[in-house]
């Protein structure tokens, strides 16, 4: 054996599982901040955070190369292509939000039509 078995701790009170929970919670907070930024009308910061989050999910969610480290192990060892296409479509929607201009209807035109 080349490497000795590593303990599941970085320091006495912090395990790798604790670190993964902290990272997941931080990404949840980033998703919430992206949603708030989009609701407030920020068309660049919110979608950029969403794109970053989708890339993180594409790498980490049910990745067959990480299956040995996930407990409990997923039932399928194959990559889920439906998840990948969903993440890519959300990235496309975020890019569309960043690039499309907001259309504002003129109130004068609406009154003339009546």
Domain definitions of the chain by residue range:
16-99
Residue pair 47/39 in contact (Cβ under 8 Å)? The answer is no
Residue whose C-alpha is closest to residue 97's, from 30, 35, 27: 35
Name the band, by pLDDT with cuts 50, 70 and 90, for residue 8.
Answer: low
> How far apart (Å, rounded) are the C-alpha atoms in residues 53 and 24?
11
Name the band, by pLDDT with cuts 50, 70 and 90, for residue 1.
Answer: very low
Residue whose C-alpha is closest to residue 87's, from 63, 60, 58, 66: 58
Residue pair 38/97 in contact (Cβ under 8 Å)? The answer is yes
- pLDDT, tens digit (0-9, with 9 covering 90-100), for 46-92: 999 999 999 988 887 766 665 555 566 666 667 778 888 999 999 99
- pLDDT, tens digit (0-9, with 9 covering 90-100), for 17-30: 777 788 889 999 99
Residue pointed to by tokens 């970053």? 52
**What is the per-residue pLDDT for 111?**
62
Evaluate if residue 96 carries a pLDDT over 80.
yes
> How far apart (Å, rounded) are the C-alpha atoms in residues 70 and 56?
16
What is the helix, strand, coil percentage profile of the chain, to 5?
Answer: 65, 5, 30
């Amino acid at each position: 054996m080349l490497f000795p078995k590593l303990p599941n701790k970085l320091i006495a009170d912090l395990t790798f599982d604790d670190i993964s929970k902290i990272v997941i919670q931080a990404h949840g907070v980033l998703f919430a901040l992206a949603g708030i930024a989009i609701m407030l009308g920020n068309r660049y910061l919110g979608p950029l955070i969403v794109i970053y989050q989708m890339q993180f999910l594409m790498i980490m969610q049910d990745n067959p190369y990480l299956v040995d480290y996930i407990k409990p192990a997923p039932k399928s060892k194959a990559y889920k292509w439906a998840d990948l296409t969903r993440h890519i479509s959300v990235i496309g929607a975020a890019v569309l939000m960043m690039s499309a201009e907001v259309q504002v209807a003129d109130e004068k035109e609406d009154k003339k039509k009546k």
